[in-house]
Amino acid sequence: MDLSGKIAIILGAAGAGNMGQAIAKRFATEGAKVVVAGRHEAPLKSLASEIGGSYFISDITQKADLENLVKHTVKTYGGCDVGVNAVGLNLLTPSLDVTEEELDTISSIHFKGAYFFVQAVGGYMKDNGGGSLIQVSSATVEAIIENHAAYIATKAASESLMRCFAVELGPFGVKLNTVSPGYTKTPMTTEFGAIPGLEDAFVARYPLGRVGTSEDIADAAVWLAQDGSFISGQTLQINGGLTLRGNPTGADVNASIAAASQT
């Protein structure tokens, strides 16, 4: 896999050790020129310096921000061949208790923001020879976790969005695909993963015997970004076979935590 000469935007790369950062680093290693984007300047500036790229402050819920991100990328490097949306917001709360404010927030990030991202980056690609757009979703769309309805439903909406645009933009050379991680060791899961026994409950559901890493997702993104991938409108389940079995139930997790406390 070779991304030499590719120009990529990675949105959602401000969190230390998150998927966006892992993807940006891997893209740079494979030869791409990378613009990292998000809401927090200091980590983006540091990452851009580390990988020899550029950074841009943008909020995915603001369409003008994403349009300006594309303009910055084109001005800096002369074009844009790849766009990755790795922005996500976790919301693990009893589904009947989700507030209107929480629902508005997660919808604006996972669906509205994803839509703006495709409009801005995909719109540029449509008029400039094509490219590859990659959305990071979640295995929970297929393997339900309790008390996670708002997160799951809005991620599912982003997957449907990519399929719709794959049909409309395909004739212009634009590929749109989704990668779907399961439980992955990232800053978003650090608090939960620190609970003794919790991660064990998830590992037991993975046929490959381990939970995912950000590097697993970066590998898939590199493959989708390179010219040789003849694929569009698909969701790649990059989760070690988790969706074959499904996530653990709340009872499974509690039993695993209880067992760990007794050892």
Positions annotated as catalytic residues are 138, 151, 155
Give the C-alpha separation, 250 to 161, whole Å. 30
3-state SS, one letter per residue, for 215-241: HHHHHHHHHHHCCCCCCCCCEECCCCC
What's the token pair of residue 229?
Answer: 């991938």
